[in-house]
Structure 1
């Protein structure tokens, strides 16, 4: 909110400008600079800092936020505070990019029974053994609407994706849907290997297998 017109009205009425500015918590220098059209020293310095901030922000390809921009300016010898940098960045419409917290896709179920490793940690490709050993996993993809979870079933022999499914959740039906799409392929039994995440050790998936 611009209170300078109110200060001007008080001045016209013969009231003390200094006292008015103190009560309104505004800079008397800024008021006179605005009144005369001549920018004050702080406004000039803000303009200079904004140019430097913009340059640092562009050099970072738009990734730096106020803390990293401030650190970069300090390394270059600029005399400015972090809050001032944050204020000028807001006024200039400059924002940094924040890393999204990566979700955990593997959450073991302590109640799940231990199953033998029938693959024996052998993940080497072998085209003579197609559709005999599969492995499953879940990954996550950042989208503008949030995390998208992708469950895949891969044929170890060929490294091909033989089944997949996507969802906005990590419930068992995600991996079950991926395995169902893969089960349309082979006519003989297949060993399915996965981590010990609760989705893969669930009763629902065991019945599907």
Structure 2
């Protein structure tokens, strides 16, 4: 009895199976070449689109791509820095309260009516001491100009406050608005997102 017969019996397989050579590596190599050829024509195709293009099972395409380290070309978009979660200006109203008339102002805006299919926006400045409106502005867009006009309207008739408070809207975070406020030696206070 030959050694291969003894080995086959001890393993519980036929002697013929000892001569078996898997064809998978050859098949994988052919698939790899097909994928590389397709990627030259369609560099951004992922495994699903390649499978459709080549008429091959997507699992097989994915397995071969992983096996040989094939990856589609990915266009890298420019990453922009994320806006900070909280404003660079603290919420001073958490620790400060008005010391008198004109000490702390609060600013906000809202849309009030629709005129000729356009919203009309009203920005107001309120004195926190007596809840009196000290400045306002109306425009057909909510822009930095809207809130700056309201502030200029208030400063025209009243001395600038020690603190002006608002939300973190882009209008209030703009360079023009913050420069205007700082030029009056006024501190900027802003709420955290989702807080009044």
Q: Based on CA coordinates, which of the two structures has the bigger radius of gyration?
A: 2
Whose strand fraction is larger, Structure 1's or Structure 2's? Answer: 2
TM-score range, shorter chain: 0.3 to 0.5
- Tell me the TM-score normalized by structure 1: 0.42
Q: If the length of structure 2 is used for normalisation, what is the TM-score?
A: 0.45
